[in-house]
Amino acid sequence: MRGRRLRAVDVVARVLARIERADPVLCAFLEVWGEEALRRADEVDTRVAAGDRPPLAGVPVAVKGRHGLRAAEPLLAAGAVAVGATSVPGPGTPWQTWGLGAHGRTVNPWRADRTPGGSSAGAAVAVAAGLVPLATGGDGAGSVRIPAAWCGVVGLKVTGGRFPSADRTGLAAPGVLTRTAADAAAWWRTVSGRPTAARACPPLPVPAVWSPDLGFAGPDAEPVALARAAAGRLADAGLVRLVRPSSPPELLDPAPAWLTLRTPGADPAGAHRVRAENDRRLDALFARADLLLTPTAPTAPHGHDGPGEVYSTALTWAFNVSGHPALSLPAGFGADGCPAGLQLVAPHGREDLLLAVAAEAERRGVATSG
């Protein structure tokens, strides 16, 4: 579109038609802003015709929830076109399970009887189904990474506190869901205002530590095996060098701390002690390695009746409490036909490292091969 080989209006019209066909089944959208999106696309075409070359000229994007436009302002300033608001959990719906779109319950695009994960449910579905190339998300406990894993797309949560947040607890951080690491990197460059990476990535292979459970979670065997196989492929391709620490990574279970911080009026002293101790342990880990690798979710996608006793956040919310940036990379498919994810965690401020490893894994085709 920047080269004027395509018009933004035509691209957005095709996307809107695709959403109209698919969304009654997927229920990925709460609202579709057809007239406004076409008007915005026409404005982008006018800018391009006048010689402007915005970096995201005419790229259709979706935003998380009805109030997601504010977080998307940098994308819109860069020429992107918001086509609608994606589904989030509805009233009375457990936050960690499913989404509710304008047409009903949001379904996993790989199996309609399974959840896409939450709370960025519609965002993950819209990207996985090819309705948009990029959707914004918010991650307070894994709400970008879990649906990314269960829908087979890339999901990035940025360093906690890097951007302003309305979340009084400081647990939630912005994020993005995309089909490729390159698209996630384009989002990061746009929202961070950095045309290039803040720091050069270290030479490959990157030292990495593998943990199936962070020392406290009880994940199912299959997502662990899929993630471990994906980590092995990264190592075999020379992208990471798996470091064997003298003792396996072991964090304190962050669940009580996270829940305390989310409970108005609760005494946060215990939560702060858990955070401080886990920060100390993570500092020690990142002193000898640049990445921590885990499964993204402890189970395969569950049904629409809910997760039962297993929190889908078991392996993700530690890094909302600690604030470390984390990315879910597709890791293959389980026996049920649903995707799984490999979680990459980096030191504070190292989104560039996560994106570089993910992009190289994609380029070499090693992230999702079964």
Active-site annotation, residues: 64, 119, 143
Look-up of token digits 């078991």: 314
Using alpha carbons, select from 250, 152, 155, 150 the residue that is nearest to residue 209.
250
DSSP string, 89-136: --TT--TTT--EETTEE---SS-TTB---SSSHHHHHHHHTTS-SEEE
CB 296 within 8 A of CB 315: yes
φ and ψ at 258, to 5 degrees? -60, -45
- Give the C-alpha separation, 144 to 157, whole Å: 7
Least Cα distance to 113 among 303, 348, 366 occurs for 303
How many beta carbons lie within 10 A of that of residue 363, not counting itself?
14
152, 130 Cβ separation under 8 angstroms: no
User: Which two three-digit tokens encode residue 302?
Assistant: 């569950």
Sheet holding 291-295, edge to edge: 29-32, 81-86, 60-64, 134-139, 173-178, 154-157, 326-333, 339-345, 291-295, 206-210, 240-242
